[in-house]
């Protein structure tokens, strides 16, 4: 049996590669709107040397009423070119939480056809605890590069796909929200959304997949968590959450276990919970 590809990079390995010419480090920090924090300002205050900032809310389909939906391949390619990210480079994504929004950007790159992308295990908090180098201010300008976006539709699902999955049970649906939000016993943080979950979904709150230091748990632990939630390792899986961010933590964890048929419901509960015509469950 072959060892599954790891999508993680450790802090010591990244520090050794800081000056590698084909490496691009990306700060993918994002905060919930009600947190009142400015991820870009925090990036300017401190970041891993050479890192560039990725704005999840701007590199998105800004014409959609839903938050940070996937942009078109054309927009994504244009933004990557301006940021100096191009074909053939190795990408490393991290965030200030440890493991929260970086997997979203990891997934976006994979949807757009880039597979040489890793997530920094433990993120900036682990990097800082280990007293590794930091920089402040704007990064040095990067030369524009050509980025070829080839959208991988196997990695993303929309609302019509979800209706089909409910009907034919062709995939397991796994929700990354808290148990209380999943059960519908607390109101959603976004106004206008019903409480509950997509019929037939299983609940794996994304925090269960992380160690206390913000790193991802071992493959054995991840397998046990998904099995306990009733996720069939032999079926395709669609992950969901509030707005498509922490669903990608689940997608990353499944990929680390070797699961090859995982997709993300991009609209997630922000789309499903707002549409009164769609069925929901509570428990």
Residues sharing a CB contact under 8 Å with residue 130, sequence separation 6 or more, in sequence order: 11
Does the CA dihedral 18-92-176-280 come out positive or negative?
A: positive
- Which run of H or of E encompasses 16? helix 11-16
Angle 259-113-102 from CA coordinates, rounded to 5°: 65
DSSP for 59-114, written as a single string: SS-TTSSSTTPPPPHHHHHHHHHHHT--TT-EEEEE-SSSSSSHHHHHHHHHHTT-
Distance CA 169, CA 108 (A): 26
Q: If we measure between CA atoms, which residue out of 126, 258, 97, 233 comes closest to residue 174?
A: 233
Tokens 């699902």 map to which residue? 157
Q: Pick the catalytic residue: 173, 216, 241, 249?
A: 241
Q: What Cα–Cα distance (Å) separates residue 181 from each residue in 97, 186, 267, 279, 280? A: 21, 6, 16, 16, 12
Catalytic, 241? Answer: yes
Catalytic machinery residues:
241
């Amino acid at each position: 049996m072959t060892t599954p590809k790891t999508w993680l990079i450790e802090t010591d390995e990244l520090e050794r590669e800081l000056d590698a010419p084909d490496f691009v480090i990306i700060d993918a920090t994002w905060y919930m709107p009600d947190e009142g924090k400015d991820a870009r300002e925090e990036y300017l205050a401190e970041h891993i040397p050479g890192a560039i900032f990725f704005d999840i809310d701007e590199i998105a389909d800004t014409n959609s009423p839903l938050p940070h939906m996937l942009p078109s391949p054309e927009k994504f390619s244009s933004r990557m070119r301006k940021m100096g990210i191009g074909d053939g480079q190795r990408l490393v994504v991290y965030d200030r939480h440890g493991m929260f929004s970086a997997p979203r950007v990891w997934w976006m790159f994979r949807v757009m056809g880039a597979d040489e992308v890793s997530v920094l295990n433990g993120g900036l908090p682990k990097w800082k605890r280990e007293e590794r180098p930091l920089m402040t201010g704007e990064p040095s300008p990067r030369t524009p590069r050509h980025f070829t976006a080839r959208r991988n539709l196997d990695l993303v699902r929309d609302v019509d796909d979800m209706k089909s999955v409910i009907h034919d049970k062709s995939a397991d649906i796994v929700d990354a929200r808290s148990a209380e939000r999943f059960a519908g016993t607390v109101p959603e943080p976004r106004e206008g959304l019903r409480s509950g979950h997509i019929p037939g979904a299983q609940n794996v709150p994304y925090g269960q997949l992380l160690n206390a230091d913000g790193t991802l748990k071992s493959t054995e632990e991840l397998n046990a968590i998904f099995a306990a939630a009733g996720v069939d390792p032999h079926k395709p899986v669609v992950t969901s959450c509030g707005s498509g961010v922490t669903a990608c933590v689940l997608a990353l964890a499944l990929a680390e276990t070797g699961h090859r048929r995982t997709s993300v419901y991009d609209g997630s509960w922000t789309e499903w919970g707002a549409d009164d015509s769609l069925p929901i469950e509570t428990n």
